[in-house]
Amino acid sequence: MLICRSGWFLMNCGSWSAPLLPSFAARPQGGGTAPCDERAVFTAVVYVLTSGCAWRHLPPTFGTSPATAHRRFTVWTEAGLWRRLHRAVLDELGARGDVD
């Protein structure tokens, strides 16, 4: 479950945004980064964005490195993830009649 600073409920396990995330495929020549838990990275990124924590101070309890979290944030931003996620949340709330 993700909760913003104001305490409003944003999403639960049932509305996990994995389908909106850009996929990361292995490079054909090998090397690159090891696969990681996208949900853990997403949670770490949301934590940094909502808490004001510096990337370098990301707690290790998230299970991802600050460099990985920041790199995915950059890729997701360039891919328009936040706009699509915002639209998906508004669509879901609108379908339930929770948006004026």
Question: Ranked by mean pLDDT, which of 25-39, 44-58, 82-96 comes out on top?
Answer: 44-58
Q: Residue 60: what pLDDT?
A: 93
* Percentage of the chain exceeding pLDDT 70: 69
DSSP letter for each residue of the chain: -EE-TT--EEE-GGG--GGGSPP-PPPTTS-SPPP--HHHHHHHHHHHHHH---GGG--GGGSS-HHHHHHHHHHHHHTTHHHHHHHHHHHHHHHTT---
Sequence ranges of the domains in the chain: 37-100
Give me the mean pLDDT over the 53-73 stretch: 93
pTM exceeds 0.75:
no
Q: What would the mean pLDDT of 85-97 be, rounded to a whole number? A: 84
Instruction: Encode pLDDT of 4-46 as tens digits.
Output: 444 434 444 444 555 667 666 666 776 666 677 888 898 899 9
